[in-house]
Copies of this chain bind each other. A is one copy, B any other.
């Protein structure tokens, strides 16, 4: 029998459930889970803040495992055949149809209505379709990626889904060499964005966030200045950013907070003709006022919203990690490791921001 941790509904305690070993369809792959991350999305799932979730679910949308069984043959994104025992990861999103208008005309695959997400929009009643279990069942067509040589799998999980999400956002940010970049938020997305900004040649990096545990991490990874939201108000933060930028404001601002009021604040932190990427508004935190004349039009602001990541973002994250993980402290994002049976504690520690990143090691 295989054990997995199941979230039966919003605000319900997680339960350990037993599953029988699945039979493999052609092209399916069974992974023995090495580890799976706990991220803010799991807290949202537990708080019932996401729509369309088919509880019960097995949480865990970014995971690493060892290939335990293959349904005939399967290959990774590079076209290489998978082998038993190989350590791989996979894109949580699968089933993007490749045929609908969003996939083929708009080239916006993250808006494909057919897409399903491991650990989020697949039910535990349909199998081992999330990472917080001893095994994960990868349906045919799941995008599987080998971990590059020399990249420890724990480091990949330490970066977690925050890295491809940040990579999506920083790509849209179109940072130019020497730009001053402000990152709003010091959670896993914000911290990875702060690293990636340096891998776009940012000239000055300012991280606005909290608590101190996370700001220390921001300093350690290279932030030139750090502003604690717990001890400042908007006016002070605005003044500090202007002070650091010769009065002009940030060339590029990246929002990764989840707090609605951070968005109009971010517009104001950005310079005239600058660019603002909003990636952190993953759940509905209500409406906020902004001034279209002052905050957008007069300053020629370019604002880009984004969400989630596609195969390319995860593939590129792997390449970036493989080459730069010794230069930047992604591995240190892991504050705590938990056994499968302690998943409830992991969830609560992340909810309370007592840790930067928590891992489940089944």
Q: What residues of chain A have their CB less than 8 Å away from a CB belonging to chain B?
A: 77-79, 96, 98-108, 110-111, 141, 143, 167, 170-171, 176-179, 196, 198-204, 224, 246, 248, 251, 260, 263, 271-273, 278-294, 296-307, 310-312, 315-320, 322-324
Residues of chain B within 8 A of A96, CB atoms compared: 98
Cross-chain pairs A/B with CB under 8 angstroms, 22 sampled: A98-B98, A101-B315, A104-B311, A104-B312, A105-B315, A107-B312, A108-B273, A110-B273, A111-B273, A167-B177, A171-B176, A177-B316, A177-B320, A178-B315, A199-B201, A201-B324, A263-B296, A282-B293, A283-B293, A284-B293, A288-B292, A300-B306
Q: Which 5 A-B pairs have the closest CB atoms?
A: A178-B319, A203-B319, A108-B273, A281-B297, A178-B316
In the complex, which of the residues A105, A315, A322 has the most CB atoms of chain B within 10 Å of its own CB atom? A105
Residues of chain B within 8 A of A299, CB atoms compared: 305
Closest chain B residue to A141 by CB distance? B99
In the complex, which of the residues A284, A315, A319, A324 has the most CB atoms of chain B within 10 Å of its own CB atom? A319
A260 and B292 contact, CB distance less than 8 A: yes
Kindly identify which residue among B282, B290, B300, B304 contacts A110, using a CB–CB cutoff of 8 Å: B300
Residues of chain B within 8 A of A320, CB atoms compared: 177-178, 201, 203
CB of A252, distance to nearest CB on chain B (Å): 12
Residues of chain B within 8 A of A318, CB atoms compared: 178
In the complex, which of the residues A77, A108, A292, A298 has the most CB atoms of chain B within 10 Å of its own CB atom? A292
Closest chain B residue to A80 by CB distance? B246
Closest chain B residue to A315 by CB distance? B105
Residues of chain B within 8 A of A301, CB atoms compared: 303-305
